[in-house]
Amino acid sequence: MSVLVYRTAFSIWLNANRSRLIYRLGNDMNLAKMARVEWMKMSEEDKNMWRKKANISAQCLRGRLKKVKRKVKGKGTTKKNPSESIDPSDALSNLPLSILVRHILPRVSPAHYAQLHLVSRRFHRLLCYYADELPKRDFDCLSFTHDWDDEFDFAVFVRAYSGRCVKRCENLDGSRNDKGPSLAVLLRHQRLTRDLGFDQNFDLKNIMNTLIHLAKHKRLCMTEIEFECSMSGVTEGQLKELLSHCSSRLEVFSFIGYGDIGHGVITDTLIASFITNGNLRALLFSRPVGLTDLTLDHFPLIEHFYLCFKHERITPSGVYRFIQRFRNDQKECSGQIIVSTFLKCPLRDLITPDDTRWIKTSDYETDEWIFFKIPSDPSSLELWLKFESC
Average pLDDT over residues 127-146: 89
Distance CA(294)–CA(271), nearest Å, equals 10
pLDDT exceeds cutoff 60 at 65: no
Please enumerate in sequence order all residues whose Cβ is within 8 A of that of 101, keeping only pairs 6 or more positions apart, or say none: 126, 130, 133, 134
Angle at CA 380, nearest 5°, toward 374 and 383?
80
Residue-wise pLDDT tens digits, 324-370: 999 998 888 999 999 999 999 999 999 999 998 887 766 667 789 99
So where are the chain's domains? 3-64+82-129, 139-277, 291-390
Distance CA(363)–CA(341), nearest Å, equals 16
Average pLDDT over residues 250-257: 87
Going by pLDDT thresholds of 50, 70 and 90, the confidence category of residue 2 is low
Helix (H, G, I), strand (E, B) or coil at 255: strand
Q: Is 252 left (phi over 0), alpha (psi -120 to 50) or beta?
A: beta
Residue-wise pLDDT tens digits, 217-250: 889 999 999 988 888 888 888 888 888 888 788 9
Distance CA(34)–CA(23), nearest Å, equals 13
Going by pLDDT thresholds of 50, 70 and 90, the confidence category of residue 294 is very high
Distance CA(187)–CA(166), nearest Å, equals 13
Q: Which residue type does 40 have?
A: M
Let me know: does 219 contact 190? Beta carbons within 8 Å: yes
Helix (H, G, I), strand (E, B) or coil at 69: strand
Burial class (CB in 10 A: 0-12, 13-18, 19+), 112: exposed
Q: How are beta strands 335-340 and 305-308 bridged, if at all?
A: parallel
